Amino acid sequence: MRRLGVDTRYNLVAFVIAIPSFALMMVGFNAGVGTVVVWVGLPILSVTLLAARGFAEVQRHRLPQVLGRPVSRPRYRRAPEGAGWMRRMVQPLADGQAWLDLLHAVIAFPLAIIGFVLTVVWWAVAVGGLTYPLYGWILSNIEGNQGLPELLGIGQGYIADSVVHVVLGLLCAATLPVVVRGAALTQAGLARALLTGVAELQERIEDLTEGRAAAVSAEAGALRRLERDIHDGPQQRLVHLAMELSRAQRQLQKDPEAARATLSQAITATRETLDELRALSRGIAPPILSDRGLAPALAALAGRCIIPVELDVQTVDRYTAVVENTVYFVAAETLTNVAKHSRAQMCTISLIRAGDVLLLSIGDDGVGGAHVAKGHGLAGLADRLRAVDGELVVSSPAGGPTLIVAEVPCG
């Protein structure tokens, strides 16, 4: 009933707005075009477009009622700083969105009429038909009055009139939500296409641009971190290993026992280097992730964490490589931060699928204070998620607990 009331109000108000909007736009546009040859038409057209913008803003304000979600607001072009009065006056003529506002005022008028008529007729028949038995006896007693059943050859009298009108009322009452909703969505769809379509496209382009920049930043940060880890760890070990092997080579002739000990140390260093390289490779994309999927990979992460982890994975489906790598990377980095900074006694990981979105939730009972400000570890995770149109939500008050939720589109 609430949706029916909202749609009914939308259709009725749309008709009230469409009448002055259509009249002003047609008069202003025709007068402006007709006198543009003598330059008088330019200010007339500018004022008309400004009026169209005002009516369009009213429509944008009303759209969320029907669509059930916020709509984008276009950014109208402004005259450059220091522009003269003439340039400022004709500025609306150079704005494409202003002309779309004018076009909407013209096209929306016939749709508003249709929506108004359908809404009023269906409501009138539904209410009038269902309540006909309350007042129908008055109409039936009017001499010479022919009811609808008599005109259709069905019958005459109060009973026949009441049955036919109640049936019609029931039919209209049953179809009333569909008819009213359809009329409202038709008008709202036109308004969204003309009044917010360009703005939505611009916002999408900006989001893609930000996502691309975030992806570049995240990859650059990951490469720098990997280079630093390799330089500080395996590279130093390999240099030391090369020196040990050279020393063993020199000792082979003079002191075989010392050479044997040196080779034993070199073998131990080789194993340590391999272990460190495996640890680094797990931060990129472990074989278990590509071979078996997210559930086993997250289980392996939880098993290696120095803090007890409760794991709840409610999806076993396989996803694209970029989705799985992103989820794994976020989980791995978050667990590393928890182990290093949280002083937590317990950590929980949950992975579920809600529609076309994977929700990765990681919580701990530590000291809190985590945030996504630049310069902190979570900032890189937020950038990586933005690169795939995802989002990172952090709740970590001082004193804890901390909850980090990553939303990754997977549709």
- If one compares 55 and 267, the residue with the highest pLDDT of the two is 55
Do residues 370 and 360 make contact, with C-beta atoms less than 8 angstroms apart?
no
pLDDT at 58: 92
The per-residue pLDDT for range 151-163, each reduced to its tens digit, is 666 666 677 777 7
230, pLDDT greater than 80? no
Residue ranges per domain, the chain?
2-202, 233-282, 292-409
Cis bond upstream, residue 401 (ω within 30): yes
The per-residue pLDDT for range 358-377, each reduced to its tens digit, is 899 998 888 887 776 655 56
Chain mean pLDDT for the chain: 81
Token duo for residue 308:
């007890």
Do residues 321 and 291 make contact, with C-beta atoms less than 8 angstroms apart?
no
The per-residue pLDDT for range 87-105, each reduced to its tens digit, is 777 788 888 888 999 999 9
Arch. (CATH architecture) of 292-409: 2-Layer Sandwich (3.30)
Do residues 126 and 176 make contact, with C-beta atoms less than 8 angstroms apart?
yes
The per-residue pLDDT for range 313-352, each reduced to its tens digit, is 888 888 888 888 888 888 888 888 888 777 888 899 999 9
